[in-house]
Amino acid sequence: MEFCDECGSMMQTQGDKWVCTKCDFEKLRDSAKEAAMVTTQSQEASEVIESQGGTEGLPTTDANCPNCENDTAYWYMQQIRSADESETRFFVCTECEHKWREDDH
């Protein structure tokens, strides 16, 4: 990946040149420098971490399910807005597996 010297945008290859998609700045490609670049295509998938999903291992709390009135739910926190916003707490009913957010009413 190459970034424009003029505006900082990501550049694309066109033949023997790098061309900025924003300001049209051009510079010649350097094959030695490009050989040292790491791309997602050249990375090996030697370590794959799979999500277990589901509710296994989640903590439980007292919370009334709006779907079935059960009083116990699994809960977890997730960042769904920008980084300067607080996380949102999600609940999953232990009986019917209905999912809701803390701020849902």
- Ordered DSSP codes for 40-69: TTTS----------SSTT--EEE---TTT-
Residue 58 assigned to a binding site: no
Amino acid identity for residue 10 in this structure? M
Q: Tell me whether residue 20 is annotated as binding.
A: yes
Say whether 65 counts as a known binding-site residue: yes
**Residue 22 assigned to a binding site:** no
Question: How far apart (Å, rounded) are the C-alpha atoms in residues 79 and 92?
Answer: 17
Provide the token pair at 105.
Answer: 């009413």
Q: Tokens 């700045």, residue?
A: 25
Helical (H) or strand (E) element with 31 = helix 31-36
Give the residue numbers of the binding site for Zn(2+): 4, 7, 20, 23, 65, 68, 93, 96
Give the residue numbers of the binding site: 4, 7, 20, 23, 65, 68, 93, 96
